[in-house]
Structure 1
Amino acid sequence: MNESIISVVVPVYNAEHQIRCLLDSLLLQTWSHFEVLLINDGSTDESGIICEEYADKDHRFKVIHKKNEGVSAARQTGIEAASGIYVIHADADDWMESEMLQDLYAKAVLTNADVVFCDYYVERNGNSVYRKQEPPSFSPEVVLRAMFQRLHGSCWNKLVRRSCYSQYGCHFPKGIDYCEDLLFWVQLLQHPKIKITYVNKAYYHYVMNETSITHNYTRKTYQVRCAFYNQLCNYLPSMGFEKELENARLSVFVEGYMHRALSNIEAWKLLWMYNKKAAFFNSKSIRWKVGYIALALGCFPIARKLLRF
């Protein structure tokens, strides 16, 4: 049997120094019925050549070269090209244990699940930390809320039935390259018929990249996070998810202040208007009202304490 049962989607951008580790870990999988879709997102280094090298030696590896449009567009390109029954994503600078695909698929078949969660490792400065990701329940709504708390909103430790993308109209929004995977889960987990299960083991090694957009806050980071927040508001029902939306709003505006990434006067005016509105109209708590005003005035120690940052 040679058909692809799992499609592994890998966005690739200037990853020549890291990508071999991931691709080698895929070659070492104990289960062979998968395809690897390498989406070369306009790399300017040797990444594309390395991808072609693996495709030449293993027919399961397929390379799609495209212009640079960001990781979200690359993920969507991979989904549209996938042929597997299930899909999982992987990042070019990470790697996975050899039993990952076999074990997740076995669990999916055993439980007829649409989504299979598993644990993962965080790799940072030579240290490996185990992260447990057991959902508090298998209810899609409960899992969705947990995505804003202790569950990681990634797609690389979750196997998903590919038909869910089309059946529920789920996609990765082009141009939003911050938490684009969380936006996918927000779309999917609003459907109560989604069946979820969990494997109590870590397989994926997530490498903490200190140069990524997640860890370096700039003016561009602020703009990307604003786009993420606006899209989140479009996807997430405002009724019943007020706390989640408020926390997302804080991650955009509070971090912009804390990192002092927003230096032009227009941005400061925008944030002052936002915090004033939040203080007097959007927040019922006196503590949060004062916190927003402190934030708007640049009183960061007070704002941190009151807003729990």
Structure 2
Amino acid sequence: MVKVSIGIPIYNVGRYLRECLNSIMNQTFKDFEVIMVDDGSTDDSFMICQEYVARDNRFKLFHQENKGLAGARNTCLKHMKGEYITWVDSDDKVEPNYLERLLEVQAETQADFVNGYNYGFKDGVIYYYDYTYISPNLDKLERTPKEMFLGTLAGKDIVLWGTLAKRKLYRGVYCAQGKNHEDNGTKFKLYFRANKVVILPEQLYGYRVEREGSIMTDKFSSKTLEKKLKEYNDTFFNVENFVYYMEITQSKDVVDKVHQQYLGHLYNLSKGNLTGSDEEKFEHYTVNYRSRREKNLK
């Protein structure tokens, strides 16, 4: 069995793809496979992937009609055979010792899940971040799954890229298709399947800062209001139902945090330039939220 499966969802990133794949080829740790899923790219991404398949038998390529980032991740999961799973977004890059350090920390701690940190880069400039606002005690590597779960509710440590997880944690876990920020509804499930979670406080993953056309640069538009409201509604109530289902200790505190986050997102959306029809949509989801909230408080 190969040690690590690296999943790379790919869509129209020909401009950046070689930098990403070269950074993986140059890893100091060599026992890995790369599962590349081309999600219906219309540029030269697929041909670039074929170059790497021809050069290195660790690189495997699958093509599908466009299903979105979550659909590409799910296809990756179907083909992964490694003992561990990590993700690299196709416009990002990793340091040469990325895999080596994740695996070293896992071996030292026997963790089921290792959460790494990232730096940003843009136009040749590297931005190293101060992560003490997320984790004040960076010398404390170990976290409880509950601590990490609460972090996801606060928007911390929510992404799948830059992490290392035992493949068994992903059994039966898939990303919700048709949603932006699909990692939000996936990572917390992995935390609850893990017996031990550790933080690697080293910035070994390079995140490309706000490239044009990325999710991070999408601006608010009234056309997307209903979609965003539905996403927030589904995400937070799915988390709430999961909390109750798992009968988590002090679940009321956890659910309260879920609702605080939901209300915060509703408030932020309400600050947009809403038309009359937009206001009706907003009111519909707000009323729906209140009714479900009151039902759960009984």
| TM-score when normalising by structure 1 | 0.80
CA contact (8 A) 1:213 1:221 kept: no
Supply the AA of the counterpart residue of 1:156: W
Deviations 1:129-184 (A, max 9, x none): 32536587511011110123363311112101001111xx32211222x2211211
Find runs of 4+ consecutive structure 1 residues off by over 6 angstroms: 276-283
Measured at CA, do residues 88 and 209 of structure 1 come closer, stay the same or move farther in structure 2, by a change above 3 Å? Answer: same
Matched pairs, number: 275
Aligned equivalents of 1:221 and 1:206: distance in 2? 27
CA contact (8 A) 1:180 1:228 kept: no
Q: Which structure carries more helix by proportion? A: 2
Measured at CA, do residues 73 and 281 of structure 1 come closer, stay the same or move farther in structure 2, by a change above 3 Å? Answer: closer
Q: Which runs of 5+ in 2 are unaligned?
A: 245-251
| Matched residue SS, 2:202 | strand
Aligned equivalents of 1:277 and 1:40: distance in 2? 38
Partner residue, 1:194: 195
CA contact (8 A) 1:187 1:235 kept: no
Match of 2:253 among 230, 240, 248: 240
CA contact (8 A) 1:121 1:131 kept: no
| TM-score when normalising by structure 2 | 0.82
Supply the AA of the counterpart residue of 1:271: F
| Matched residue SS, 1:199 | strand
Partner residue, 2:233: 229
CA RMSD of aligned residues (A): 2.7
Partner residue, 2:185: 183
Aligned equivalents of 1:269 and 1:87: distance in 2? 43
| Matched residue SS, 2:253 | coil
Which structure has more RCO (C-alpha within 8 Å, separation ≥ 6)?
2
Pair 1:268 & 2:279 matched: yes
Measured at CA, do residues 246 and 185 of structure 1 come closer, stay the same or move farther in structure 2, by a change above 3 Å? Answer: same
Partner residue, 1:108: 106
Deviations 1:111-131 (A, max 9, x none): 221101222102246351325
Measured at CA, do residues 279 and 83 of structure 1 come closer, stay the same or move farther in structure 2, by a change above 3 Å? Answer: closer
Map 1:27-176 to 2 at 5 A.
Answer: 27-124=25-122, 126-132=125-131, 134=135, 138-149=143-154, 151-166=156-171, 169-176=172-179
Supply the AA of the counterpart residue of 2:187: W
